[in-house]
Amino acid sequence: MVDTQQLTMVSLGPGDPDLITLKALNALKDCEAIGVPTKSSDGSFDRSLTYRIVQSLMRRAGFERPIFPVYTPMRFREEDWQAQVERLYAALAEHGRVCFVTLGDSGIYSTVYYLLDRIAEQRPELYATCDVIPGVTSFSQASAHAKKPLCVGESQLQIVPLLDKELPTTTVYMRPKIGMSTEAIPEEGTMMTFEDLGFAGEKITEGKIPTVRRYMTLLIDFFTKDPHAV
């Protein structure tokens, strides 16, 4: 049994290994084992694009880590998420520092938050030290390929899953004017304010700040999950 356990959720980007971030690559280098999702119940990686990306990164960056399969059948069942977190708990007990990788960005329809929700409930001390590393989304890469903006000037971006039903929505508010009041911005889910992210003076506030202080401000109204939804 190891002393310290650290779980890092690593976004790999949309498929091209060159589109991984330095932070994500460093996390893979710094860990003791890498959990890779597979849709094969026998744990093989024959159909795993994620496995190929990780192998390519290790070869090119000159490092090797044991890879363990995490069976992710995409059936959206409670017992599957539980089996996945238990696989991660076992790997953490064996290796200490473990990464779990997913495609694209972990904030966009990824397995990561199904697992983190369960870890938060079952192992709050482990959850508190978990890191999530963001990545390039598939649609960012599509935009770059097409040389077309996703939004610019007087336009906005919508991400619509093809599910044919009304869905709770996350809304990102950006490009505010300094000094503007946030009073009129609707608050439907869980609002958070992010100022100067990644820069000196970074500030993250629960809720809306009343007045915008900096141009580099995002307000995000995170959707509230329907307890019956998958």
Ligand X SMILES: C[S@@+](CC[C@H](N)C(=O)[O-])C[C@H]1O[C@@H](n2cnc3c(N)ncnc32)[C@H](O)[C@@H]1O
Closest contact distance (angstroms) between CB of 216 and ligand X is: 23
Q: What is the DSSP letter of 200?
A: T
Beta bridge partners of 99: 8, 34
Verify binding: residue 103, ligand X, rule CB under 6 A.
yes
Residue 22 to residue 32: CA distance in whole angstroms: 18
Residue 209 to residue 95: CA distance in whole angstroms: 42
Verify binding: residue 109, ligand X, rule CB under 6 A.
yes
Contact with ligand X (CB under 6 A) among 138, 169, 170, 171:
138
Residue 99 to residue 8: CA distance in whole angstroms: 5
Whether 94 and 2 have beta carbons less than 8 Å apart is answered as: yes
Closest contact distance (angstroms) between CB of 49 and ligand X is: 8
Verify binding: residue 110, ligand X, rule CB under 6 A.
yes
Contact with ligand X (CB under 6 A) among 14, 35, 37, 176:
14
Contact with ligand X (CB under 6 A) among 51, 81, 105, 221:
105
From 60-68, 104-112, 193-201, 211-219, span contacting ligand X (CB under 6 A): 104-112
CB atoms within 10 A of CB 53: 21
Which residue of this chain has its Cβ atom nearest to ligand X in the complex?
A: 104
- Provide the token pair at 38: 């597979």
Verify binding: residue 137, ligand X, rule CB under 6 A.
yes
Contact with ligand X (CB under 6 A) among 104, 123, 130, 193:
104
Number of residues interacting with ligand X: please give it, by CB under 6 A: 10
Parallel/antiparallel/unpaired status of strands 203-206 and 190-195: antiparallel
Contact with ligand X (CB under 6 A) among 108, 130, 133, 212:
108
- The closest of 113, 122, 95 to 34, measured between CA atoms, is 95
Q: What is the DSSP letter of 40?
A: -
Whether 135 and 104 have beta carbons less than 8 Å apart is answered as: yes
Q: Closer to ligand X by CB, 5 or 137: give it.
A: 137
- Provide the token pair at 37: 């999702």
From 57-65, 103-111, 189-197, 201-209, span contacting ligand X (CB under 6 A): 103-111
From 100-108, 113-121, 173-181, 218-226, span contacting ligand X (CB under 6 A): 100-108
The site for ligand X (CB under 6 A) is made up of 14-15, 103-105, 108-110, 137-138
